[in-house]
Structure 1
């Protein structure tokens, strides 16, 4: 039987040895490095292929990322350019001035009496055809000098006006000399009015407009038929096109249309080359441009990535080594940190797989702040801040779709800010609902930051902005849901007592606390007092005050097995120890620590609280029963001496500051309560005597409590106890009615 017990103890020792094994620690960091590398390799390093022109593809070659389809993009640009309508310009050629020039010539030539009729006809034949052309040349020269219109447009104007120039019938020239001065005076304003009216429209084809001239002249105030006939011909000669094709403007518009076409992309994992397709020169050059061909330098990016992830791991190693937490040497906590990092990175990777061009911001839906929140709850806030920085760098690479650079700062910055918001929100959390509030803080801070970034970079469509903000809200909710779901797993698997779990265990409705209250009310009250004392003392030296308080609530739970044998529960009954052998009494008293541990195990209370219940007495001496046993032995002249070791608690001694503080508070509360009217000097003397006694007895040798911390604990306990046992005014019995006396006692 003894050999079997020794064998089991040896196996248990070897199994628990992994927690402090250097090899296990090294393997955990190796695993972490491998996770970093695998998470980033497909983002940072494209897959390469060993192929040559003329061979066939042995397997489907997929796009390593979203890449531009140059052929499809160029086709889309050409289609956009073809849909651009020709650009026309409306150019005023000042046709009213041409009318004035024509009538000026008519007045001048007809007024010269020395010129014969035949000569006048010949002059009109030579002058009028050139008059319109000279006017147009003059206008074009003016526009050329001013630079108002481009050269191709001016050439187009000259060409179109020349092509559509009106040829005045020859018989008209024979009729022009017959026009009297009075006729010309009446004809000129009518002609100018008709030309102005016609030229107000956009004229691409002058011939269609000239067909309207006869109707307008006939409806004018002119009465002579020759006058109306001459006005029709003069107006037709003066009418020109005023709407001209602007070739340069058209090309500019087509260029803008081409520029406005968004590039056509091949989505990530779309097939670039099907299995069995021949590798043409074009395909080979495309794959080469994407760095997908194996060559002598293809291994360099992998070396760079290995160096990068080693730096990540080195950062974790250095931060853990400089930590004051148990994670510095405890592989169990390191394993928990590694698992949190792996799960957080895995979550980001899963969301990056569905990231595409239609939903470019879907990566924001990933609960990237989950890891930092879990680290803050389960380990330490400072470690959580470091984890937040690490996760932000990873997010900027995992969700990067641009590939023009290695990082997308937007995802990194959003992850950093939301993780910090989660850490600040979850610190000192006391309820599970605090996690949901932290998730809302993540969503709010993410929306504010992302909204500012999108407003600064205002090229995004309203649709993408709406999706991005919706995704960040979803991220906050998912973060809260995953943390709430994962927290019990970590608490159970690693025996972690998070602040949230401790607050749950402090609920008076917990079955064990209700058992303590109903079966041992005196012990319950004592435990509550010890909890208050231990919490204030622990916080004074930077220990876990909440753990001390909750541990104190359960430290005497073993007394519920034999409540009547403990003095605080002996109300109106005789003390059974008065008639018992001191050795038996010792066994009953000592057993309450062991019974408490067994009861706590049955109710699955976490180990740190069980340790407090087991260690709060350490290996202290039960002095009352020891001296009673010695007195009985001396009276009976027993030759066998009473061994002090037989009247000590079995231990172990306190292994943590929290267990030691609960032990001090337990002893101090009971001792001070025994004083009739305690004052400051009595309390201080009692507290320091108890602490010194335990220190001299070596009860603090395994819990790292310093002398300075013990002195601070003594001061804090004195202040707290003085507040509890403060003096009250003694009222004369006759000064208060029975009802008022009851009220005073109640207070």
Structure 2
């Protein structure tokens, strides 16, 4: 009896799989991505360290601050410019510059010539009465003066000597000149010396005279220096006295000096510039601020000068040591954050774009903090709070808390502040981050900002009282920080749409907008595949309840469920939920072809999602909701058809599996379970609670044994809770109903 040919066993050697070219390329690409990621992180560490290090140790003192101990000079010596002393000495030097006057001796020369003419007239006359009355009245010539001059000119020799003596007497007047009334500005009338030069002479030829020497009222005094010089030129002196009396009345009306304002200003400016800066020295050990003394403006300037001097005196070795220490601390923070990301945030660790965005955010935050470091407004809260809130919204509050901790430490390192400032930053920002677990309304961000503001205010008062700071400083800091915390909430509310696009953030607000029935994809799904739409709505309801049961993102699962089967709308009648009243399209197809159609709805859904710009997290749910599960019906159908044909090829199970990937998040795992149990529950003829419980347990256990949840992060306890939630939801959907008696017609 022939039993036919036995199905040949596959060669054991054929069971061994060797890395294909594609696998090698993928491995090389992953290695390159790791190298690029590590290089980017290393560059970020260097840039962040450079920003934190700055130019050296930061200046930590503030106006109104009350130090706990006295502050002394730590450098050997530093000098501070004494502006008052410098200004006074420069003004004194400028005041010492004589006023520049220009002398035009023509009026004095004319007076000398007229006096000489008078002596000639007197010498020619015989008697006083012979002199022209006009000359007498003009010169106010008296008989006694006439006789004195007549006696001095009675011989030709004496007349010649008198002419020489008159020229000699007028020489000092011609050299110094006469200052007329109003020749000097009022603000210059106090000047004691004058630099006088004749018209056409250079500045180097100027002569210095005391102001009294050229003032008319001093010149005409009989006992003044001018009168004595004039009289001394004559022999005998009585003639000089007589002639000076004749001239004195006319000198007052013949000014010869004019003020050269431009030249005077130029010389004074030269004198000012010649005086160097004056400094007050402060030496090592000298007390700058007493213990408990509030730092005023003067003390703050001294502290700033001492700090700048200390930085300038740092050697290259000391700067290198400090830079090395900063680099080690910053590297430690990045290593700590890296371990957290690698363990708890795999979607960041595996995405080069997310890593780059995160590094850029850290550098931007620390850079803005450094720019705001010299302000007294405590505005460094804004970049720290905004960065932490962005990360909390983009990923989760736990990651936001970790970022808050790291950014607070980096900020305190950059500003040189102590533990109190760190606690204020950490506490206030963490209070806001913890409230960002689910952002479904715009006002949520405003409330979060208000919460941060309140915590900033409370912690500022607590830290200020602890450090015995002045109440005015505490009140000012508290109000500034509270205001910035509130502004952070408004900033996040206004910039949220842009942040969603830049970081690929999916917030509750954007999810609710996607879940609106007016979305084009959902409307098209209702029109083309109403059965699939009904199935999606039900899956969304039971999946959301299960997600909230274990603390996952229920809204994300629900909206993801609405879109998870949108690929079916391209071939709706090949799926059983849309085959009501029509023939089975798979009846005349090979199982392998049917499998390709069934599996294809995942790829079609991903393509449709990207065409309509769905968020990546929704697309991930579409792509992962079947994982690598087996299309069991067609796999078994293929085996059944090949069972009677011994020559048929072995049915490869891999050909009947979805391409995956397996669920990478808890939400994707929940959606997979909800999808399969909801579809299978429709096949129950009598969906009693026990049957529903058995069906749900069987389907979940099968996928658990198949390893579908290995990469989702779900624990066995969470899977058990999800199972209980799904059972409860399905029992509620298929609950028993009261049978009403048939209505009788009339």
Taking structure 2 as the reference length, what is the TM-score of the superposition? 0.57
- Determine the structure 1 residue equivalent to 2:275: none
Describe the superposition over 1:646-702 as per-residue Cα deviations: whole angstroms up to 9, x where unpaired. 861441241424433322221111111221331222112211222233345454455
One of 47, 51, 54 as aligned partner of 1:41: 54
- State the distance in 1 between where 2:584 and 2:607 align: 26
CA distance in 1, matches of 2:302, 2:488: 27
1:419 and 1:675, CA in 2 relative to 1: closer, same or farther beyond 3 A?
Answer: same
Q: Distance in 1 between matches of 2:684 and 2:84?
A: 92
Q: In the aligned structure 1, how far is the partner of 2:464 from the partner of 2:707? A: 64
Aligned to 2:688: 679
Measure, in 2, the Cα distance between the counterparts of 1:678 and 1:602: 39
Which residue does 1:431 correspond to in 2? Answer: 441
Within 5 Å, give how 1:4-403 maps onto structure 2. Answer: 14-15=28-29, 17-19=31-33, 21=34, 24-25=37-38, 27-29=40-42, 31-42=44-55, 44=57, 71=82, 262-264=296-298, 290-294=309-313, 299-300=317-318, 302-322=320-340, 324-327=343-346, 329-330=349-350, 332=352, 333-353=354-374, 355=375, 360-361=376-377, 363=379, 366-396=382-412, 398-399=414-415
Instruction: Quickly say closer, same or farther: Cα 1:666–1:13, change in 2 above 3 A.
Output: same
Matched, 1:587 2:605: no
Structure 1: segments with no counterpart, 5+ residues: 1-5, 47-66, 77-258, 271-285, 400-405, 739-747
CA contact (8 A) 1:68 1:263 kept: no
Alignment-derived partner of residue 417 in structure 2:
407
CA positional deviation for 1:599: 0.5
Query: 2-side partners of 1:508 and 1:612: how far apart?
Result: 19
Deviation of 1:557 (Å): 0.7
Rounded to whole Å, the distance in 2 between the matches of 1:412 and 1:349 is: 16
User: C-alpha separation between the residues in 1 aligned to 2:438 and 2:86?
Assistant: 60
Partner of 2:427: 417
Q: Deviations over 1:418-477 (max 9, x none)?
A: 20221122223323442232223233333444466678967466xx88875664354235
1:564 equivalent in alignment to 2:579 = no
* Structure 1 contact 538–548 (Cα < 8 Å) conserved: yes
| Match of residue 605, structure 1, among 608, 614, 633 | 614
Flag the 1:364–1:72 CA change in 2: closer, same or farther, 3 A. Answer: farther
| Partners of 2:397 and 2:436 within 8 A in 1 | no
Cα distance in 2 for partners of 1:37, 1:573 equals 71
User: 1:728 is matched with which residue?
Assistant: 737
Partner SS for 2:435: helix
Distance between the aligned counterparts of 2:604 and 2:307, measured in 1?
A: 74
Q: 1:654 aligns with which of 651, 662, 671?
A: 662
1:28 Cα deviation after fit: 0.7
Distance apart, 1:291 and its partner CA = 1.6
Q: What's 1:148 paired with?
A: none
Name 2:541's counterpart in structure 1. 532
* SS of residue matched to 1:290: helix
Instruction: Give the count of matched residue pairs.
Output: 500
Q: Which residue of 2 aligns with 1:84?
A: none
Deviation track 1:344-363 (CA, whole Å, cap 9, x = no partner) reads 2222223235x2xxxx3353
Change (3 A) 1:28 1:407: same
The answer to whether the aligner puts 1:444 opposite 2:462 as a matched pair is no
Counterpart contact for 1:367–1:478, Cα < 8 Å: no
Distance 2:517 2:85 in 1: 74
TM-aligned CA distance change 1:469 to 1:667, over 3 Å: same
Tell whether the 8 Å contact from 2:431 to 2:451 is kept in structure 1 after alignment.
yes
- Measured after TM superposition, the shift of residue 391 of structure 1 is 3.1
CA drift at 1:560:
1.2
Change (3 A) 1:710 1:451: closer
Q: Is the 8 A contact 2:539 2:675 kept in 1?
A: yes
Matches of 1:294 and 1:325 in 2, distance apart?
A: 46
Q: Which residue of 2 aligns with 1:161?
A: none
Is the CA contact 2:514–2:559 (under 8 Å) kept in the aligned structure 1? Answer: yes
Cα distance in 1, alignment partners of residues 307 and 635 from structure 2: 89
Q: Give a deviation string over 1:551-576, Cα, whole Å, max 9, x none.
A: 22211010111223322223444444
1:150 maps to which residue? none
* SS of residue matched to 1:264: helix
- Contact (CA 8 Å) 1:68, 1:265: kept in 2 or not? no
CA 1:348–1:73 in structure 2 vs 1: closer, same or farther (change >3 Å)?
A: farther
What is aligned with 1:713? 722
Gaps in structure 2 of 5+ consecutive residues: 1-19, 60-77, 88-292
| Contact kept? 1:32, 1:313, Cα under 8 Å | yes
Give me the TM-score of the superposition, normalised by structure 1: 0.57
Per-residue Cα deviation, 1:14-53 (whole angstroms, up to 9, x for no partner): 555455x26733651452253134234236168xxxxxxx
Judge conservation of contact 2:631–2:658 (CA < 8 Å) in 1. no
